[in-house]
Amino acid sequence: MAYLDIYLAQLTDPFRIGLLIALVLTAANTAPNLNRWIPIALGIVFVAVLIPYSFGSSDDVAKAFAVGVGLISNITLLAVLLGAKALYARLARG
């Protein structure tokens, strides 16, 4: 698989998107007690590692490559989610 194929597959993975939505909601709830960005950074890495090692192939190089591309796709998805959350908050204020 080419880099772009893996990246696009990860961007459209509903399990990954659901985990990142839960991550954004959890980070918003823990923001008063923890820093907002610590759970987000740890969650990005967790999701990037969890999916290839839970559902991936037995090839360690392919898993490591999928984790690397997963970090990039998680950051992309998270940027979209945080942008949508900020837009919603701005429109809700009026």
Residue 10 is predicted with a pLDDT of 92
Domain tally, the chain = 1
pLDDT(57) > 70: no
3-state secondary structure 39-67: HHHHHHHHHHHHHHHHHCCCCHHHHHHHH
Instruction: Look at the pTM and tell me if it is higher than 0.95.
Output: no
Average pLDDT, integer, range 65-88:
94
- Say how far apart CA 56 and CA 68 lie, in whole Å: 13
Domain that holds residue 55: 3-93
Average pLDDT, the chain: 88
Average pLDDT, integer, range 14-19:
94
Quick: pLDDT tens for 3-12. Answer: 888 899 999 9
Quick: pLDDT tens for 36-54. Answer: 888 899 999 999 999 888 8
Contact (Cβ atoms closer than 8 angstroms) between residue 39 and residue 27: yes
